[in-house]
Structure formats: structure tokens, C-alpha cells
Chains A and B, each alone.
Chain A
Amino acid sequence: MIETLDVVWRHRIFYLFVLPFAVLTILFGLWPILLSIQVSFTASATALRPNPTYVGFANYLVVLSDPAFLASLTKTFLYTALSVVANLAFALGVAVLLDSALLTRGNLFFRLAIFLPVVTPDVAGYVVWRWLFDRSFGAINAMLEMIGAPAFAGLTSARTAMASLLIAELWHHAGFYMIIFLANLSMRDKALEEAAHVDGATAWQRWRYVILPQLKPALIINTVYALIQFLKTFTVVVVMTKGGPNEATNFVSYYAYQLFDQGRYGEATAMATILFAIVILISLTFYRIADREVAA
């Protein structure tokens, strides 16, 4: 104990500087999460009262036996899987292209063009995408009509709504992943590629066995971040589809939000807590596995 205090005292300046941020993190980061978990164990009608009625795991049982929640969870997983693959593949492709000698001219322009949507307010961006997809006056269908192609149902059909959201989110997020890949590409050891070239490796072999293994740190960071991001997909749904059409984009975050709207606070926070647990579990598992492989 005395030793610990001694260590703290020796590093007092460090702790002094850290203290405000630690307090803010606990106050605005951890405390709301704990409160939300607490609400998930209370009866909705009393959830926000000073002395709520605790109902144990009743809200969790209701949520887990709700077919609509299970359907929503399945859709969330599907959307996350598709989005993670699409975003990372696109970002990696663009990063490799921008890193190559093929795009020396206008390189900065393309980097900016792809990164700009990341700093664009998401709501504004998605409102524009909603207009682009509009069946009656949207630019996408106007172009399709011009070239004589069949109309794209976009947000109005359960079959195409998820793909439409994926495209809008790809536009918004891919630039961020691209920057991480570009940073990793700039740090790689180019001598290894030259050596492989001298040894007669083809372009594909150099990419697959020399460059790609060196991109593992960026792949891990991007995958974990993308998993967290897309499991929690919310804003794009609120702006573009409101969970529709016919529940096709009713992901867990939005479903929980709808329950809040009906005053079903206990079930809504139970749903949010389940999602929180899934996000933590998937992210940590992936991170552990990938980290072990990198170390090996």
C-alpha cells in the first residue's frame, strides 16, 4: 500500500494532468452506461422515478423472446458483415491505388475527395443520399432513365433498402479506413518487395505474400472499428428509412429507439445492453485472435 502511494506520489504530476480526463470519462462515459444497465432491470413505468421497481431479468426475457428483436438482430449482423467487407475492400483498393505510381498526378485531390465525406456532417450527407435515391425525382433514377436502364427501387423496396444504406455509409466512412491503410502502406518495408521482385515473384505474389502481411495492423484496427461502427448503425436509418420499408432496415439500435418512443424504457435499455455486450464481445474476440496472429 505504502509502495503504491509512493509510486503515485512520484508520478504526481502525471496523475494531476490525467485526473480531469479520468473524471470526465467516468462522468460522461461510464456513468451513463451503468445507469442504462440499471434501467434495464426496472419496470418501464417506474424506470425514471427516484425509486424504480426492479424486475430482475424480466425485460431481457421479453426482448429475447420477441421475434421482431431476433429478426432485427439478424439484420444487424448481416448488414454489419456486408458493410465491414465492402468498406474495407473499397478503402484498401483505393489506398493501394493512391499509393501506387499509377496515380501520382492528382493524388492529393483524390485523397481529399475520398476523405471529405468523413468530415461532412452525417445527417446532411444522408439527407442528400435520400434525395439521390428518391424514386420520383432522385438523380440516380434520372440517370438510369437517361440510359434506358430499369429504375432502382432504392429505399422504397425491402429488397434494395439495405444495399442503399450500405452505399450511403460506404460514401461516408470509407475515407477514414483509407487513411489508416495509407498510413500503414507508407510505413511498410519496400526492400522486401524489391527482394521478392529480384527472386522472381509475380506482382500478385508480391502483393499477397509481401505487402498484405505488412498491412495486418491496419486491417485489425479498421476491422474492429468497422465492426463497432456498423453494429451500432443508427443515424443513417433515422434519416433515410426509419427502419423500413417493412422492417427491412430495422437494426437493433433503431428498434431500441422505437421502444423508447413508446415509453418502454426497460425493454429498450435491455436491448441496448444486449447490443453493447455483443459489440464488446465481438470486438475483443476479433482483436485477441488477430493480435495473436500478428505476434506469431
Chain B
Amino acid sequence: MAILRTLLGAAAMAVAGTLPLQAQQLTVWHDLGDNGIKWFEAMSAEFAKSKPGVTVKSLSFPTDQWFGRVIGALNTDTAPDLIYNNYERVIRIQDQTGKVSDMKDVLAKVTDKGFLGEDDIKVATYKGKQIIIPIQRVQMGFGVRKSWLDKVGEKFPETWDDAKRVANKFRDSDPDGNGKADTFGFGLQAAKPRDLIHMLDLFLFGSGIRNTLIDPAGTIMVDEPAHAAVLEEFLKTYTSYKFVAPDTINHSFPEMYQGIEGGRAGMFRVGDWNVKKWDGEKVLGGDFLVGPWPKMPGAAQNYVVIGGMRGVGVPENAPNKALAQEFAAFMLSKAAQQASLENVGAAVRKDLDVAALSPRSQYFAKAEARLIAYDFPESIHTFYPELEAAYHKKLMSGIANPPADWKPFITETAKEMRDLAAKLKAK
């Protein structure tokens, strides 16, 4: 009988051994589009090497929809296993749901993480909770159409005076050679609060100024002399300088990209994630140079701007929370980071192979330019989005009806912002 039992047990074990492990699927929601989906597919294949039977399925939503879906899912216990986006967007998810888990312990267990600096962790932390594991630094440089520069006999503009001279030539000297006056110096945007303020962020941080509107102590910085000087030039770019298309006042991201990719704007923002697409033959075909933002008068140095951090978070009510945390930690591994660089154009590790990348992608991947980081006011002042919306409204009123002298306008704006910040703080 004992022999029979042993034989049956052995047979059962043998049969069990031939069966595949129970398949498990992790779901991640992001807004990175097709390149992001390819990246998660590559990571899924790599992750499965150490976790057979586990697959990672990623779904990409337009950013607006991503917000609604994630908030709704987390609040109704139908959350995905992982959420992926910029830190400030995950902050909003945490504010609306309170259900983004603390990743401190997960990161603590990762041994190979020397490439993450103190600032990276600071950005990922909100109200004492680490809401994301930082995966990709967002770098934004200044791009200029190379063939247009050649046509007008200019070099990559280093200073704001250079940029203004080039902008005038791009507008007036038919740099695309089509015989029509249909080109502009800059491709910018203005319509929504984030559109205009984001552009201002780049001009300010690119010149070494540390805050766009409010400092960590809650002081409004708009009329501080160096700040006001950049702000005035920025506002003139939209108005009296005539460096942008007149319709820019109604332009948001899609229209700005149409202007850049459609060959109407000669100078523009280049995000590390833009390069792969713009290197493509049917877009800009690599016909652009990337460098730091132009140095404004009085600025000591100019920079490429680090516009935040994209990272992965795990909802408290994720269906496979433990496995999701394992995958989140895996996203810092060299293989996952290499896939990130190749598919999305950004990473946080500094030991990746960049040889196969284009010179423009390498510019970001090597991170050798002077870098300066955003001030991340959303993580300090919870009322910041409302303050920023009011600031946008005020600047738009100036752009729509430009004053003869911008200085009193800037002083008045600063006062209004101080009053509003005090009111919002007291709420």
C-alpha cells in the first residue's frame, strides 16, 4: 500500500511538473502612447525571465482620460496594478483618492540605485509618502532647425540676443525657401494654464531662476528684478516682438506640435521623448540641433531644464500588489532602463549603452549638459494649481491687450498673486 501511495505521489508530482505555472498578468495604465506600449512589452519579456508566467499588459490613455480613469478606478476598487506618469499627476491622484501606496520600503530593498539623487527622491515624495519610484528624468532643451540656421547664416543661439536676431531672420528671410512669408521664430503655446506657464518655466529655469511663481516659503517671486526681466522678454515674444504665429494665443500642445512638425516654427522646446519621433524621416528627419535654453541678460549661466520625473506607483488596492511592487523595483534594472531609453528616450540610470542613439538622443541620454530642475511647487503648496490658473489668466490678459510698458503690469500681477496666495493659504 505504501509503495502504491509513493508511486501515486510521484506520478502526481510528475504530472504537476509538466503543467505550466499559473499565468499572472499585471496591468499598467500610462499616457506614453505607442512608444510606451512597446517599452512595457520589452520589459514584460525581460521580467518573465525571472518570473515565468507573468505578463505585463500596458494601456495608454490620453492624459486627460488617464486622470479620470485612474481616479475612478482607485476610488471604486477596480484599480490597475500599476500607474505610470509624471510626479505632479500622481500627486493629484493621491489628493483625489488617498490610495497611492508608499514605495519607500520597495525602494529600500533595491540594492542597485546609486544613480538616484536626493532631488529625485524628493520629487517622488509627497506629504511624507513616496508615491512613485523615479524611472525617467524629463529633460527639455532648446531646439533649432539646422537647415534654417544654415540658410540665414547663423549658429545655434547661445544668448537671448542671439535668439532674437535668429527669430527675426526666421520670420523675415524665408528660411524654408518656399517663397512665402509663412515661418516664425518660435513655436510656443498659450491657451491653457499649463501651456503658457510651462513655456515660461523653460525660459526662467533655462536662465537659472529657481521659481516660476512662488518659492517654497510661499513668497511670490514674479517681480523680483531678474525674474521680472525674463518675464518681460517672454511676454514680448508673444506680442511686440512678433516672434510667434498670431494664433498662438489659442494654441495648446497639439497646435504647437503642428507648427513645429509642419515647418512653421524655427525654435522650440525639445523634450527627450520628442527626439525619437522628430528624428523620423516623415517628421523633422533629424533636421534640428539641441542645446541649453538661451542665456537671458544678467543670467550667469544657461541650462537644459529637468522638468520633473516620471515614475511608477502602485495603488493600495492593486489586485496583485506584491507582484506589482516587484515589477516597479525591476523597472530600475539595467535591462528595463535600457528599454526605456530606446523606446521612450529617457531613463534615470547613467550606465546605459547610448551608442545606437542619434546625436540628439545622446545629448539627453548622456545628461552632459548643464542641468537645472523645476521647483515642483505642487508638492509643497496644495493650492498651486488654482494660483497658477489665476496667473495664467492675468498673463493672458496682458498678451491679449499688451500694455505700452510691461513693468507696471508685472508689479500689479505680483500684487494680485500675493493677495490670492494669502487667500488660498487661509482656506
Assuming the contacts A137-B182, A156-B250, asked whether A244 and B95 have C-beta atoms less than 8 A apart, the reply is no
Are B400 and A246 in touch, CB under 8 angstroms?
yes
Q: Which of A144-160 contact B (CB under 8 A)?
A: 155-158
Encode B185-196 as 1/0 by CB contact (under 8 A) with A.
Answer: 000001110000
Complex CA–CA separation, A248 to B399 (angstroms): 13
Counting CB contacts under 8 A, is B385 at the interface? yes
A255 to chain B: closest CB distance in Å?
11
- Verify if A40 is at the interface (C-beta below 8 Å from B): no
* Complex Cα gap A264–B427 (Å): 14
Q: Could you tell me the dominant secondary structure of chain A's interface residues?
A: loop
Q: Are B191 and A242 in touch, CB under 8 angstroms? A: yes
Which of B12-20, B69-77, B110-118, B133-141 contacts its partner? B69-77
- CA of A92 to CA of B249 in the docked complex: distance in angstroms? 36
Q: Is the CB of B192 within 8 A of A242?
A: yes
Question: For chain B, which range describes its interface: under 10, 10 to 19, 20 to 34, or 35 or more residues?
Answer: 20 to 34
Asked whether any CB of chain B lies closer than 8 Å to the CB of A262, the reply is yes
**Hey, which chain B residues are within 8 Å of A244, CB to CB?**
190-191, 249-250, 396, 400
The residues of A that contact B247 with a CB separation of less than 8 Å are: 134-136, 155-156
- With A246-B397, A247-B393 as contacts: A45 and B96 at CB distance below 8 Å: yes
> Is there a chain A Cβ closer than 8 Å to B236's Cβ?
no
Confirm or deny: B92 has a beta carbon within 8 angstroms of a beta carbon on chain A: yes
Residue among B97, B182, B386 making CB contact with A262, cutoff 8 Å: B386
Residues of A close to B64: CB separation below 8 A: 261
B35 at the interface (CB under 8 A from A): no
Query: Residues of A contacting B421 with CB < 8 Å?
Result: none
B246 CB within 8 Å of chain A:
yes
Please judge, given known A-B contacts A136-B245, A246-B401, A261-B64, whether A48 and B96 are in contact too, CB under 8 Å. yes
CB distance from A216 to the nearest CB of B (A): 40
A293 to B92, CA, bound (A): 54
* Residues of B contacting A: mostly: helix
Judged by a CB distance under 8 angstroms, whether B159 is at the interface is no
Query: CA of A262 to CA of B393 in the docked complex: distance in angstroms?
Result: 14
1/0 per residue, CB under 8 A from B, across A65-99: the answer is: 00010000000000000000000000000000000
Specify the chain B residue showing the minimal Cβ separation from A257: B64
Neighbouring B residues of A242 by C-beta, 8 Å:
191-192, 250, 252
Please tell me if the beta carbons of B400 and A158 are within 8 angstroms of each other in the complex. yes
Question: A256: CB under 8 A from chain B?
Answer: no
**A212-244, CB under 8 A of B: which get 1 and which 0?**
000000000000000000000000000011111
What is the CA–CA distance of A68 and B72 in the complex, to the nearest angstrom? 29
Q: Which residues of A contact B264 (CB under 8 A)?
A: 136
Give chain B residues whose Cβ lies under 8 Å from the Cβ of A157. Answer: 400
Tell me the chain B residues, 229-259 only, with Cβ under 8 Å from chain A: 245-247, 249-250, 252
B389 CB-CB contact with A under 8 Å:
yes
Residue of A49, A50, A68 with most partner-chain B CB within 10 A: A49
Taking a contact as CB atoms under 8 Å apart, the answer to whether A48 and B386 are in contact is no
Bound-state CA distance A136–B242 (Å) is 12
**A45-B96, A48-B72 in contact; A241/B250 too (CB < 8 A)?**
yes
Q: Is A56 an interface residue (CB 8 A)?
A: no
Residues of A contacting B97 with CB < 8 Å? 48-49
Residues of chain B with a CB closer than 8 A to A47's CB: 96
Q: Is the CB of B95 within 8 A of A263?
A: yes
Q: Are B250 and A245 in contact (CB under 8 A)?
A: yes
Are the C-beta atoms of B76 and A245 separated by less than 8 Å?
no
Apart from A242-B191, A261-B192, list 13 A-B contacts with CB within 8 A: A47-B96, A48-B72, A49-B75, A135-B245, A136-B246, A136-B264, A156-B249, A158-B401, A240-B250, A242-B250, A244-B249, A244-B396, A262-B386
Question: Can you offer 7 A-B residue contacts whose CB atoms are under 8 A?
Answer: A156-B249, A243-B191, A244-B400, A245-B399, A247-B397, A258-B192, A263-B95
